[in-house]
Amino acid sequence: MWCKETTLSDYPDLKADDMEGVKKFMATKVRDLIRDIKHKWSQDNPDRNANEMPLPLVRLKVEITGFTNFNVQQFGQQFVGAVANPQDILIFYRKRTPTRGKGKMSIPRNPSFFFFFLADCNRTCSPKSMANRVYQSA
């Protein structure tokens, strides 16, 4: 299995509204990866014929923040016979944006607190209620 990762925003020539340009760029990246795989296989197996090479598993993880995604299965159809997994070559993801919480919740670092807390909480306490009590007293 061969995996690579790329970020579309690292390439200033790509425009977010040019979906065909993005598809061509991704196809080029996949073809380059397949070429590298074949080259490495031929170096590792000099005594074997190139036709004996098994179809490689290829995965390209693509960060698409600011871009729209497209149908990966349709994209993969152009690589049928070249890779073992044409339906899931590309994996899209977006950067997570930090969320604003109500505030930081911290767990007290005082060991005696936990001793008295656990002594106070009997066996009928659920884990959720135990966690709530820890955070409320923090």
The domains of the chain are located at 2-93, 99-138
Per-residue model confidence (pLDDT) at position 82: 92
Identify the CATH class of 2-93. alpha beta
- Both tokens of residue 87? 């339906």
Render pLDDT for 24-48 as a digit per residue (tens, 0 to 9).
999 999 999 999 999 999 899 888 8
82 Cβ neighbours under 8 A, 6+ residues apart: 34, 55
Neighbours of 64 (CB within 10 A): 19
Render pLDDT for 71-128 as a digit per residue (tens, 0 to 9).
999 999 999 999 999 999 999 999 887 666 555 555 555 555 555 555 555 555 566 6
Helix 127-137 × helix 111-120 angle, to 10°:
140
Per-residue model confidence (pLDDT) at position 138: 52
